[in-house]
Amino acid sequence: MRRFHAWTLLLAIVYVPSTACAATQHPVRPTHVILMIADGCGPASVDLGRMVGGAPLALDRILVGSVGTASASSRITDSAAGATAMASGVKTANRMVGVDPSGRRLPTVLERARERGMATGLVVKSTITDATPACFAAHVMERGAQDTIAVQEIEGRVDLLLGGGRDWFLPLSRGGVRKDSVDVIAQARGYGYTLVSNRAELAAARATPLLGLFAHDDLSYALDRDTLTEPGLPEMTRKALALLARRPAGFFLMVEGSRIDHAGHANDPASHARELLEYDAAVRAVLDFARRDGHTLVVCTADHETGGLSLGRRIGDQSFYELRIEALRPITASIARMADSITAGVAPEAVLTRYLGSPPTPEEKALVDSAVVARKGVAAAIGEVESRRGLVGWSSNAHTAVDVGLYAYGPGSERFRGHHENTDIARLLAEAMGLSLAPIKQAKPSTSDAR
């Protein structure tokens, strides 16, 4: 009897680990995969957003690691090289979209998902032809070739495209900026796309393929958005989920908080925080969907940090053991909008009083007035006023080499724990979906793609 119990115990010990090992070797494959990219968002950006919002973020509960962001040409990447790494699993040179440094076309996780029969979507606040979305559905030598990218996105039959950049879809004769005569919107309609251009039309959309172009260029900052006509990132994301989830084979969706980056370039702390909070609201919507669905993998990260944001700063020779985040909460416009008002002739003191939430001090007024007299740097001066009020600092108007956060939830999320390179994102997503990112033997993109 004792021998029986001993063998039973031994079998149980052997059996349980082998089962666990089998589960590890054959994890459950997600039906839906959502990659969310907070463009230009470093660790300090997340902290700033949390402090300005005054509550925990949706991101906070799914933090699993960090990501190195270097490109093939620099320790500091641009968005094209950063997104190519996350879409294709290969480091490329800055400014190159969907190709390796030699110009060889790279397959992307979106393209491989589409080949599988999955629905695909791109949702952004920039132009839909900007570097990050382009890297998932286009292949050009130069990110500035947004006219070529527009055509490739439509010809690639991405099921859902929501963002800005209407100008890149229309020739000059139709009010766009294309120098050829191609009307890409007409071409899209020929392929079966429905075009929507405002919130009401987006709400009424019932099927894909869907092309949403809600601005001539980038969508507005959250602080400046006309909420009657222009959709926000959470709204576009929820619509994308509702439409793409109808595909039986599942979907791949990339959502970008594009203007976190733009506010970082501008050193605009209030807009930077509000864009992060809008992105986090979209993350919350995605996580709600994933929890209800039970078969959705969600991965959130950034392509790089922008601005070298510091929470704490020196003014002159004085450093402060203080952070005045409450000074950023009353701000109701981006520094670009304030600068435009001043340039249009509105008195600087009136603009600052209206949008900053309190009148400027004599020193603040003098700083902005000097920029007005010089006829340059007005937005930068307002950004410095905001940053001094909040005691936040910036080291750059460009990108930095700081590692960025990595967040994951759902089946396959365990793959993303720890520190990774940006190329690992594409590789791990492909593994989770059972896809191959092996390059296709193909001719290099035409040099006519470069602008």
Give 408's contacts (C-beta < 8 A, 6+ positions apart): 62, 64, 297, 298, 299, 300, 415, 416, 417
Region 21-48: mean pLDDT is 84
Q: In one letter, which amino acid is 330? A: P
pLDDT tens digits, 433-450: 999 999 766 545 544 433
Give 413's contacts (C-beta < 8 A, 6+ positions apart): 62, 64, 297, 298, 299
Q: Are 87 and 135 in contact (CB under 8 A)?
A: yes
Q: Are 422 and 94 in contact (CB under 8 A)?
A: no
Tell me the pLDDT band of 20, cut-offs 50, 70 and 90. very low
Tell me the pLDDT band of 15, cut-offs 50, 70 and 90. very low
The predicted pLDDT at position 96 comes to 98
* Percent of residues, the chain, with pLDDT higher than 70: 91
pLDDT tens digits, 212-262: 999 999 999 999 999 999 999 999 999 999 999 999 999 999 999 999 999
1, pLDDT greater than 60 = no
Region 354-369: mean pLDDT is 98
pLDDT tens digits, 142-194: 999 999 999 999 999 999 999 999 999 999 999 999 999 999 999 999 999 99
Q: Which two tokens stand for residue 153?
A: 């996105």
Among candidate residues 275, 329, 330, 343, the one with its CA nearest the CA of residue 307: 275
Of 271 and 26, the one with more pLDDT: 271
The predicted pLDDT at position 7 comes to 36
Q: 92 in helix, strand or coil?
A: coil
**Domains of the chain listed by start with CATH number:** 32-308+397-444 (3.40.720.10), 314-390 (1.10.60)
For 157, left (φ over 0), alpha (ψ -120 to 50), or beta? left
Instruction: Give CA–CA dist 75/71, Å, rounded.
Output: 6
Tell me the pLDDT band of 17, cut-offs 50, 70 and 90. very low
Give 269's contacts (C-beta < 8 A, 6+ positions apart): 48, 263, 309, 328, 383, 386, 387, 390, 392
Q: Are 177 and 129 in contact (CB under 8 A)?
A: no
Instruction: Give CA–CA dist 112/322, Å, rounded.
Output: 49
Q: In one letter, which amino acid is 45? A: S
Region 39-67: mean pLDDT is 98
Instruction: Give CA–CA dist 83/115, Å, rounded.
Output: 20
DSSP result, 377-442 = -HHHHHHHHHHHHHT-B-S-SSEE---EEEEEESTTGGGG-EEEEHHHHHHHHHHHHT---PPP--
pLDDT tens digits, 67-98: 999 999 999 999 999 999 999 999 999 999 99
What's the DSSP call for residue 70? Answer: -
- Summary mean pLDDT of the chain: 93
Cα distances (angstroms) measured from residue 131 to each of 4, 78, 163, 184, 239? 66, 9, 13, 18, 23
Instruction: Give CA–CA dist 397/391, Å, rounded.
Output: 17
Instruction: Give CA–CA dist 30/174, Å, rounded.
Output: 43
Instruction: Please tell me the pTM assigned to this model.
Output: 0.92
pLDDT tens digits, 98-129: 999 999 999 999 999 999 999 999 999 999 99
Q: Are 432 and 29 in contact (CB under 8 A)?
A: yes
Instruction: Give CA–CA dist 430/448, Å, rounded.
Output: 31
Q: Which residues participate in catalysis according to the annotation?
A: 79
Q: Are 136 and 37 in contact (CB under 8 A)?
A: no
Among candidate residues 432, 447, 445, the one with its CA nearest the CA of residue 26: 432
DSSP result, 114-137 = HHHT-EEEEEEEEETTSHHHHHHH
The predicted pLDDT at position 28 comes to 83
Among candidate residues 417, 357, 325, 396, the one with its CA nearest the CA of residue 55: 325
User: What phi and psi values does residue 363 have, to the nearest 5 degrees?
Assistant: -65, -40
Dihedral of alpha carbons 244, 303, 285, 26, sign? positive
Q: Are 123 and 252 in contact (CB under 8 A)?
A: no
pLDDT tens digits, 283-313: 999 999 999 999 999 999 999 999 999 999 9
* Percent of residues, the chain, with pLDDT higher than 90: 90
